[in-house]
Amino acid sequence: MATDFKAAADAVLNRVVTSEPCVPGVVAMVTDPQRNIYEGAAGTRRLDRDAGMTTDTVFRIFSTTKAITGTAALQLVEEGKLDLDAPAKTYVPEIGELSVIEGFDAHGEPKLRAPKRDVTTRMLLLHTAGLGYDFFNEHYNRLAQEKGQPSVVTASKASLMTPLLFDPGDKWEYGSNIDWCGQVIEAIAGERLGEVLKNRIFEPLDMRDTTFELIDALRQRVAGMHARNADGSLTPIDFELPSEPEVHMGGHGLYSTVGDYMRFIRMWLNDGSGAHGRVLKAETVQTAEKNHLGDKKVTMLPGVIPSLSNDAEFFPGLSKSWALTFMVNDEEAPTGRPAGALGWGGWRTCSIGSIAGTVLAASGPPRSYHSGIQCRSTDIWISRPRSTRACARSRWPEVQEDQQSYRTRLGRTLRHALLVMRRWRLGHRLVRCPSLLQQLRRIGQARFERAFGIACQSMCMIKNLLILFSDLKKAGGNRFGVVEHVGIRCADHTPAPS
């Protein structure tokens, strides 16, 4: 059974790198709470070089750095050294210097005022402090273009000194919040963030290839970056985060491997317990994974620099909140992703490709869940699988659905998939794929085994999903057991300017 699943998964990865449009290379791993149960790689690290993609390839993990920095902050809270609700300027006075921007005057100068309240570390962890990114906010973009505001990829102190977009605590806005949180951690610990993470997280979890400062041994294994041209082709581009950064950017600065990040995910799966000891207390994990935004919601991220970013929203139209420090789905998604599921993506601050989020949840009772295959065409999508305890809190029913209920759910999921397919002019392939329809019927008949869902905005991934269903059926369909996590990372590329 395991051999069949590996063969089917390997075939999917190979098709990802050979289809049109394609990605240069991909690494995928599956982990349960104890170990990796699948590891695979396909393609090349960079199109203009010979090195093939391998499971130990090093990636710029960008925004998946945030959860690691957040974990260090939670450790300091456990030790009584960090008060999340105290003004962050207590630890880092510079953050108290930030003003609120209210637009620009007739001469193009920013209109600034004092904030109504202080920024707290809790606000930083929740992205409610008022900070943003220049590729997601027009004010920041204008400051960069007209006033020379440095990008956060420079890893400089100056890049952090941006005005607040609103009064702290007023709403959610994705931005450089966790970079500032890293500064808070450094101030309390008395050492650089990289050393804090190494001693407190990387070594206990045996994450040997994760670092802010890229050394030559790791540089030899780094995946390349690519730009997506107007005709869909890819062009390799040279890009490297500063190898000796002025600031260890807690929001996006790490290099790592998929294998190392699986070790970090397993720690969360095991309620804070790592390979070489406990990283977080179980009660801390239980508190952290809850919604901490209250009535505020995660919103769509508008791409204001077409060459760097598209508009981005995960699970469009669904209510989403924020935990410490993951996004929370407030309601069940048409894909089958349950309410209470945690996740986020590793984005690049220099270029962001289209999002391809996929959920193929394996069959199983509510005792264990989530997720399936989840990836962006440029990066990892990391999701915390749901434990037995978490599933119970997600309000999954403990009784089988009646015939009408599962038919309704199955129909809703199928309609959602058809809409996505039609968006990419692939709807006809769904209805012409007998193995896929057979799989859907089996899911319906299994009632409680929600195994099918698509939330894709990537043509190549949709094509491969159709093939995947056929392969999974050949490999035993929904009998191969519960897969609790898949992390996928593809070689980086950017969209063509629109």
Please compute, for residue 71, the number of CA atoms within 13 A of its CA located in the half-sphere on the CB side: 28
Strand order in the sheet with 486-490: 36-43, 25-31, 486-490
Question: In this structure, are strands 492-494 and 225-228 parallel, antiparallel, or unpaired?
Answer: parallel
Q: Do residues 28 and 486 make contact, with C-beta atoms less than 8 angstroms apart?
A: yes
What is the DSSP secondary structure assignment for residue 379, as one 8-state letter?
S
Instruction: Report the alpha-carbon distance of residue 291 to residue 411 in Å, rounded.
Output: 30
What's the longest Cα–Cα distance across the chain? Answer: 69
182: helix, coil or strand?
helix
What is the DSSP secondary structure assignment for residue 435, as one 8-state letter?
H
Can you name the residues that pair with 328 across neighbouring β-strands?
321, 342
Written as six digits, the tokens of 183 are 């500064």
- Tell whether omega for the bond before 21 is within 30 degrees of 0, i.e. cis: yes
The residues assigned a catalytic role are 63, 66, 174
DSSP secondary structure of 111-130:
EEE--SS--BHHHHHHT-SS
Instruction: Report the alpha-carbon distance of residue 309 to residue 496 in Å, rounded.
Output: 9
